[in-house]
Amino acid sequence: MTMTNKVFIVEDEPDLRDTLEYNFENEGFQVESFANGESFIDFIEKKKPNLVVLDLMLPGLSGIDVCRELRSKDKYDDISVIMLTAKSEEIDRIVGFELGADDYVTKPFSVRELILRVKAVLKRGERKSDNMEVQRQFGELKIDVDSHEVFVNDEQVSLTALEFKLLRQLVDRRGRVQSRDQLLSDVWGYSSDVTTRTVDTHIKRLREKLGDMGKYVQTIRGVGYKFTRTPE
Protein backbone atom coordinates (compact mmCIF):
# COMPACT_ATOMS: atom_id res chain seq x y z
CA MET A 1 0.00 0.00 0.00
CA THR A 2 1.56 3.27 -1.06
CA MET A 3 1.71 6.47 0.93
CA THR A 4 -0.19 8.25 -1.82
CA ASN A 5 -3.49 6.57 -1.02
CA LYS A 6 -5.85 9.03 0.61
CA VAL A 7 -8.76 7.77 2.69
CA PHE A 8 -11.48 10.14 3.88
CA ILE A 9 -13.73 9.10 6.75
CA VAL A 10 -17.25 10.49 7.08
CA GLU A 11 -18.63 9.39 10.45
CA ASP A 12 -20.63 11.43 12.96
CA GLU A 13 -19.72 9.32 16.03
CA PRO A 14 -16.59 11.00 17.45
CA ASP A 15 -15.02 7.96 19.16
CA LEU A 16 -15.38 5.76 16.10
CA ARG A 17 -14.16 8.51 13.79
CA ASP A 18 -11.04 9.04 15.94
CA THR A 19 -10.39 5.29 16.15
CA LEU A 20 -10.61 4.86 12.40
CA GLU A 21 -8.42 7.88 11.74
CA TYR A 22 -5.75 6.59 14.14
CA ASN A 23 -5.70 3.09 12.68
CA PHE A 24 -5.68 4.15 9.04
CA GLU A 25 -2.84 6.58 9.68
CA ASN A 26 -0.90 3.75 11.31
CA GLU A 27 -1.34 1.78 8.08
CA GLY A 28 0.32 4.57 6.11
CA PHE A 29 -2.77 6.20 4.62
CA GLN A 30 -3.25 9.94 4.31
CA VAL A 31 -6.44 10.54 6.27
CA GLU A 32 -9.01 13.31 6.56
CA SER A 33 -12.11 12.88 8.70
CA PHE A 34 -15.49 14.61 8.69
CA ALA A 35 -18.45 14.64 11.08
CA ASN A 36 -21.05 15.23 8.37
CA GLY A 37 -21.64 14.93 4.66
CA GLU A 38 -21.78 18.66 3.98
CA SER A 39 -18.23 19.34 5.18
CA PHE A 40 -16.96 16.35 3.21
CA ILE A 41 -18.59 17.51 -0.05
CA ASP A 42 -17.17 21.01 0.44
CA PHE A 43 -13.67 19.67 1.11
CA ILE A 44 -13.38 17.36 -1.91
CA GLU A 45 -13.76 20.36 -4.17
CA LYS A 46 -10.18 21.13 -3.09
CA LYS A 47 -8.72 17.67 -2.42
CA LYS A 48 -9.91 14.28 -3.66
CA PRO A 49 -9.45 10.97 -1.86
CA ASN A 50 -8.81 7.59 -3.42
CA LEU A 51 -11.52 6.14 -1.20
CA VAL A 52 -14.14 7.33 1.27
CA VAL A 53 -15.41 5.36 4.28
CA LEU A 54 -18.96 6.66 4.48
CA ASP A 55 -21.44 6.18 7.31
CA LEU A 56 -24.94 5.59 5.98
CA MET A 57 -26.75 7.32 8.84
CA LEU A 58 -25.40 10.85 8.99
CA PRO A 59 -27.07 13.98 10.36
CA GLY A 60 -28.27 16.30 7.61
CA LEU A 61 -26.94 14.99 4.30
CA SER A 62 -27.22 11.19 4.58
CA GLY A 63 -24.66 8.69 3.33
CA ILE A 64 -27.02 7.82 0.47
CA ASP A 65 -27.20 11.51 -0.48
CA VAL A 66 -23.42 11.84 -0.35
CA CYS A 67 -22.97 8.74 -2.53
CA ARG A 68 -25.53 10.06 -5.00
CA GLU A 69 -23.66 13.37 -5.16
CA LEU A 70 -20.36 11.62 -5.84
CA ARG A 71 -21.76 9.42 -8.59
CA SER A 72 -23.58 12.30 -10.28
CA LYS A 73 -20.31 14.01 -11.26
CA ASP A 74 -17.74 12.54 -13.62
CA LYS A 75 -14.85 14.18 -11.78
CA TYR A 76 -15.58 12.01 -8.73
CA ASP A 77 -16.10 8.77 -10.63
CA ASP A 78 -12.70 7.38 -9.60
CA ILE A 79 -13.42 7.76 -5.86
CA SER A 80 -14.19 4.38 -4.30
CA VAL A 81 -16.86 4.19 -1.59
CA ILE A 82 -17.20 1.79 1.33
CA MET A 83 -20.38 2.29 3.36
CA LEU A 84 -20.77 1.66 7.09
CA THR A 85 -24.25 0.37 7.84
CA ALA A 86 -26.33 -1.21 10.60
CA LYS A 87 -27.88 -4.64 10.14
CA SER A 88 -31.38 -3.16 9.96
CA GLU A 89 -30.52 -1.03 6.91
CA GLU A 90 -30.54 -3.71 4.18
CA ILE A 91 -32.79 -1.75 1.83
CA ASP A 92 -30.64 1.38 2.15
CA ARG A 93 -27.56 -0.78 1.64
CA ILE A 94 -28.96 -2.11 -1.65
CA VAL A 95 -29.77 1.45 -2.71
CA GLY A 96 -26.19 2.38 -1.87
CA PHE A 97 -24.85 -0.36 -4.12
CA GLU A 98 -27.16 0.74 -6.90
CA LEU A 99 -25.77 4.27 -6.57
CA GLY A 100 -22.25 2.93 -7.00
CA ALA A 101 -20.90 2.07 -3.54
CA ASP A 102 -18.08 -0.47 -3.90
CA ASP A 103 -18.65 -2.31 -0.64
CA TYR A 104 -20.21 -2.07 2.80
CA VAL A 105 -19.27 -3.10 6.33
CA THR A 106 -21.93 -3.80 8.93
CA LYS A 107 -21.66 -2.30 12.42
CA PRO A 108 -20.29 -3.40 14.80
CA PHE A 109 -17.20 -4.37 12.84
CA SER A 110 -13.53 -5.16 13.26
CA VAL A 111 -11.32 -2.20 12.35
CA ARG A 112 -8.84 -4.71 10.94
CA GLU A 113 -11.52 -6.12 8.65
CA LEU A 114 -12.41 -2.64 7.41
CA ILE A 115 -8.76 -1.87 6.65
CA LEU A 116 -8.42 -5.13 4.70
CA ARG A 117 -11.54 -4.31 2.71
CA VAL A 118 -10.24 -0.83 1.95
CA LYS A 119 -6.97 -2.31 0.69
CA ALA A 120 -8.86 -4.83 -1.45
CA VAL A 121 -10.99 -2.12 -3.07
CA LEU A 122 -7.97 0.09 -3.73
CA LYS A 123 -5.98 -2.80 -5.17
CA ARG A 124 -8.86 -3.67 -7.46
CA GLY A 125 -8.99 -0.07 -8.67
CA GLU A 126 -5.27 -0.09 -9.43
CA ARG A 127 -5.34 -3.28 -11.51
CA LYS A 128 -4.79 -2.58 -15.18
CA SER A 129 -4.86 -5.06 -18.05
CA ASP A 130 -2.13 -4.06 -20.47
CA ASN A 131 -3.40 -6.32 -23.23
CA MET A 132 -7.04 -5.17 -23.21
CA GLU A 133 -8.36 -3.44 -26.28
CA VAL A 134 -9.46 0.14 -25.66
CA GLN A 135 -12.77 -0.10 -27.49
CA ARG A 136 -15.07 -3.06 -27.89
CA GLN A 137 -18.22 -3.39 -29.93
CA PHE A 138 -20.96 -5.98 -29.91
CA GLY A 139 -23.72 -5.12 -32.34
CA GLU A 140 -24.93 -1.66 -31.34
CA LEU A 141 -23.22 -1.90 -27.94
CA LYS A 142 -19.91 -0.01 -27.73
CA ILE A 143 -17.63 0.02 -24.67
CA ASP A 144 -14.71 2.41 -24.26
CA VAL A 145 -12.43 0.98 -21.57
CA ASP A 146 -10.23 4.05 -21.17
CA SER A 147 -13.01 6.61 -20.78
CA HIS A 148 -15.42 4.23 -18.99
CA GLU A 149 -18.11 5.16 -21.50
CA VAL A 150 -20.82 2.88 -22.88
CA PHE A 151 -22.96 3.57 -25.94
CA VAL A 152 -26.07 1.87 -27.31
CA ASN A 153 -27.11 2.92 -30.82
CA ASP A 154 -24.57 5.76 -30.48
CA GLU A 155 -26.40 7.10 -27.40
CA GLN A 156 -24.32 7.23 -24.22
CA VAL A 157 -25.57 5.05 -21.35
CA SER A 158 -25.01 6.37 -17.83
CA LEU A 159 -23.55 3.60 -15.64
CA THR A 160 -22.29 3.82 -12.09
CA ALA A 161 -18.65 2.91 -11.47
CA LEU A 162 -19.69 -0.47 -10.08
CA GLU A 163 -22.04 -1.20 -12.99
CA PHE A 164 -19.23 -0.47 -15.43
CA LYS A 165 -16.89 -2.81 -13.50
CA LEU A 166 -19.53 -5.52 -13.63
CA LEU A 167 -20.10 -5.07 -17.37
CA ARG A 168 -16.38 -5.08 -18.06
CA GLN A 169 -15.91 -8.23 -15.99
CA LEU A 170 -18.61 -10.00 -17.99
CA VAL A 171 -17.19 -8.75 -21.31
CA ASP A 172 -13.60 -9.67 -20.44
CA ARG A 173 -14.74 -13.26 -19.91
CA ARG A 174 -17.36 -13.30 -22.62
CA GLY A 175 -18.63 -16.69 -23.59
CA ARG A 176 -17.80 -18.11 -20.15
CA VAL A 177 -20.31 -18.58 -17.37
CA GLN A 178 -19.46 -16.74 -14.15
CA SER A 179 -21.05 -17.75 -10.89
CA ARG A 180 -22.33 -15.20 -8.43
CA ASP A 181 -19.42 -16.10 -6.13
CA GLN A 182 -16.96 -15.42 -8.95
CA LEU A 183 -18.54 -12.04 -9.63
CA LEU A 184 -18.42 -11.17 -5.93
CA SER A 185 -14.74 -12.08 -5.83
CA ASP A 186 -13.71 -10.37 -9.06
CA VAL A 187 -15.94 -7.29 -9.03
CA TRP A 188 -16.14 -6.62 -5.29
CA GLY A 189 -12.58 -7.87 -4.69
CA TYR A 190 -13.18 -10.87 -2.43
CA SER A 191 -15.87 -13.20 -1.19
CA SER A 192 -17.91 -11.07 1.21
CA ASP A 193 -21.31 -11.12 2.81
CA VAL A 194 -22.81 -9.24 -0.12
CA THR A 195 -25.99 -11.14 -0.84
CA THR A 196 -26.97 -12.96 -4.01
CA ARG A 197 -29.89 -10.57 -4.18
CA THR A 198 -27.48 -7.65 -4.48
CA VAL A 199 -25.63 -9.27 -7.40
CA ASP A 200 -28.93 -10.01 -9.12
CA THR A 201 -30.06 -6.42 -8.52
CA HIS A 202 -26.96 -5.07 -10.24
CA ILE A 203 -27.44 -7.39 -13.21
CA LYS A 204 -31.10 -6.36 -13.48
CA ARG A 205 -30.27 -2.66 -13.45
CA LEU A 206 -27.43 -3.16 -15.94
CA ARG A 207 -29.76 -4.91 -18.36
CA GLU A 208 -32.38 -2.19 -17.97
CA LYS A 209 -29.86 0.52 -18.75
CA LEU A 210 -28.54 -1.34 -21.80
CA GLY A 211 -32.07 -1.70 -23.19
CA ASP A 212 -32.18 -4.07 -26.18
CA MET A 213 -28.44 -4.70 -25.77
CA GLY A 214 -29.11 -6.17 -22.33
CA LYS A 215 -29.77 -9.42 -24.21
CA TYR A 216 -25.99 -9.96 -24.32
CA VAL A 217 -26.04 -10.59 -20.56
CA GLN A 218 -27.60 -14.02 -20.19
CA THR A 219 -28.74 -15.85 -17.08
CA ILE A 220 -27.56 -19.44 -16.76
CA ARG A 221 -30.13 -20.85 -14.38
CA GLY A 222 -28.69 -22.33 -11.21
CA VAL A 223 -25.16 -21.25 -12.16
CA GLY A 224 -24.72 -17.53 -12.82
CA TYR A 225 -24.33 -15.16 -15.75
CA LYS A 226 -22.39 -14.83 -18.97
CA PHE A 227 -21.85 -12.25 -21.69
CA THR A 228 -22.62 -14.01 -24.94
CA ARG A 229 -21.15 -13.28 -28.35
CA THR A 230 -24.35 -14.33 -30.11
CA PRO A 231 -27.49 -13.27 -28.22
CA GLU A 232 -30.77 -14.89 -29.16
The predicted pLDDT at position 210 comes to 94
Q: E strands along the chain, which residues?
A: 6-10, 30-34, 51-55, 80-86, 103-107, 135-138, 141-144, 149-152, 155-157, 178-179, 217-220, 224-227
Pairing of strands 51-55, 103-107: unpaired
Report how many domains make up the chain: 2
Same domain for 121 and 139?
Answer: no
pLDDT tens digits, 187-228 = 876 655 556 677 888 999 999 999 999 999 999 888 889 998
Q: Which residue has the higher pLDDT, 55 or 176?
A: 55
Same domain, residue pair 117 and 162:
no
Give residue-wise pLDDT tens across range 2-33: 446 899 999 999 999 999 999 999 999 999 99
> Is 131's pLDDT higher than 80?
no
Give yes or no: residues 149 and 218 share one domain. Answer: yes
Mean pLDDT, the chain, rounded, equals 84
Domain with 220 in it: 135-227
pLDDT score of 134:
66
Point out the domain boundary residue: 91, 126, 161: 126
Q: What is the pLDDT of residue 78?
A: 79
* Whole-prediction pTM: 0.59
Last residue of a domain, one of 83, 99, 126: 126
Are the C-beta atoms of 55 and 89 separated by less than 8 Å? no
Please indicate, yes or no, whether residues 106 and 214 belong to a single structural domain of this protein: no
Are 34 and 112 part of one and the same domain? yes
**Assigned domain for 150 exists:** yes
Higher-scoring residue by pLDDT: 29, 106? 29
Residue 114: pLDDT over 70:
yes
Distance of CA 106 to the CA centre of its chain: 16
Average pLDDT value for residue range 162-178: 87
Give residue 31's pLDDT. 96
Residues 222, 139 share a domain = yes
